[in-house]
């Protein structure tokens, strides 16, 4: 059960109303909603705060999402992991890949059974689970979170983490943008699920992805790892030089490039998201294919 108290004027909470719960989830995209669902199913009191609106904001809510869904068959799993190893320059760690594949299968099963997500079916009637429509997916996630009794605070960004005297994170200070009031939320556990950083590209729901979770964590003393693998996206109109053949490399890391891209895309009938890697590959042109006439 969620409890409201007045926090008093102490160093931790400040002079704000205090909300307390077992688990505070910061962010209401796929990561945050699954965290809230699992915590609530385990019996915890959960509060979820979102800077935008849980179910409509973030990178998934406005796009189709490709899912790394691989049936639990040894041969298929082996091939899937091997393909990703090459893609990742053989830096990938199978100790992480295997649990990701397990978790993905389990969550997609749950999405089909509990949230009743309408996966399309193939010619044999088998559900095709390697793609999700973001708006439909996230609408169902929000409903599921609400049904489990999680208290959702929309338009309420977390601004800083609270820590106790031993520097253990004990909650967060948030801003209710509808009333302009600051709130302190005390929690036994805080899950940071505020998405990535889109470097102000504003691409496809990424207006809210300003790296807040990483910043909050660093401010609380966490160390980040793997940041050199961060990627940025831009969108480009299909059928233009950005889509096929030699093209300039467009990075969403700069406001100018991304907004120019967005303006071009808004008048185009179809757009596709491009990562810098994909754009660079396109800029180099198609991969050479072995010619049948060439000697082996
Ligand atoms: C164009 C594009 C295409 C992509 N395609 C794919 C794909 O095909 N497959 C794939 O797996 N991934 C894809 N991604 C990556 C995608 O970002 C993630 O898969 C997924 O959205 C991450 O989920 P998330 O919950 O971590 O973050 P998000 O879905 O971004 O959700 C973050 C949430 O946190 C909230 N938030 C942010 N800051 C705060 C704060 N301070 N306080 C409270 N709430 C906050 C936001 O409002 C938002 O609701 C794509 C990304 C982009 C940009």
Q: Which atom of ligand 1 is nearest to the CA of 32?
A: 25
Judge whether residue 123 has pLDDT over 70. Answer: yes
Q: Quote the tokens at residue 166.
A: 């031993």
Q: Where residue 167 falls among pLDDT bands split at 50, 70, 90?
A: confident
pLDDT of residue 3: 38
The three state secondary structure string of 275-289 is CHHHHHHHHHCCCCC
Judge whether residue 275 has pLDDT over 50. Answer: no
Calculate Rg over the CA atoms of the chain: 22
Ligand 1 mean position to 277 CA, how many Å? Answer: 19
51 lines ligand 1 (CB under 6 A): yes
Cα 236 to Cα 153, 222, 262: the distances in Å are 34, 36, 7
11-15, long-range: CB within 8 Å, 24+ apart, which pairs?
12/162, 12/163, 12/164, 12/170, 12/184, 13/162, 13/171, 13/173, 13/184, 13/186, 14/173, 14/182, 14/184
- 41-97 pLDDT per residue, tens: 999 999 999 999 999 999 999 888 899 999 999 999 999 999 888 888 888 889 999
Q: Quote the tokens at residue 102.
A: 């397990």
Of 161, 194, 196, 219, the residue with max ligand 1 atoms within 8 A of its CB, to mutate for a pocket test, comes to: 194
Tell me the whole-structure pTM to 2 decimals. 0.80
Of 48, 60, 217, the residue with max ligand 1 atoms within 8 A of its CB, to mutate for a pocket test, comes to: 60
pLDDT of residue 257: 28
Answer for the pair 285, 246: CB distance below 8 angstroms, yes or no. yes
Report the mean per-residue pLDDT for the chain: 79
Q: Is 224 helix (H, G, I), strand (E, B) or coil?
A: coil
Cα 201 versus chain centre, distance: 15
């Amino acid at each position: 059960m969620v409890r409201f108290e007045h926090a008093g004027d102490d160093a931790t909470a400040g002079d704000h109303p205090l909300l307390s719960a077992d688990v505070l989830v910061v962010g209401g995209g796929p990561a945050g909603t699954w965290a809230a669902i699992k915590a609530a199913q385990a019996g915890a009191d959960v509060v979820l705060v979102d800077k935008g609106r849980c179910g409509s904001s973030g990178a998934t809510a406005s796009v189709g999402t490709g899912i790394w869904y691989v049936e639990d068959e040894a041969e298929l799993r082996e091939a899937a992991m091997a393909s990703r190893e090459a893609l990742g320059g053989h830096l990938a760690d199978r100790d992480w890949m295997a649990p990701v594949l397990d978790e993905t299968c389990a969550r997609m099963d749950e999405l089909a059974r509990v949230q009743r997500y309408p996966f399309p079916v193939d010619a044999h009637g088998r559900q095709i689970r390697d793609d999700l429509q973001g708006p439909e997916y996230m609408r169902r996630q929000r409903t599921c979170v609400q049904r489990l009794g999680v208290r959702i605070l929309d338009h309420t960004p977390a601004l800083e983490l609270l820590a106790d005297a031993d520097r253990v994170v004990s909650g967060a200070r948030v801003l209710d943008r509808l009333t302009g009031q600051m709130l302190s939320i005390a929690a036994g556990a805080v899950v940071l699920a505020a998405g990535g950083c889109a470097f102000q590209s504003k691409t496809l729901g990424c207006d809210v992805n300003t790296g807040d979770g990483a910043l909050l964590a660093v401010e609380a003393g966490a160390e980040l790892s793997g940041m050199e693998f961060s990627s940025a996206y831009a969108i480009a109109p299909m059928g233009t030089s950005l889509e096929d053949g030699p093209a300039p490399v467009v990075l969403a890391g700069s406001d100018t490039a991304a907004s120019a891209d967005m303006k071009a895309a808004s008048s185009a009938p179809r757009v596709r998201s491009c990562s810098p890697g994909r754009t660079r590959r396109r800029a180099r042109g198609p991969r050479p294919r072995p010619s049948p006439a060439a000697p082996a």
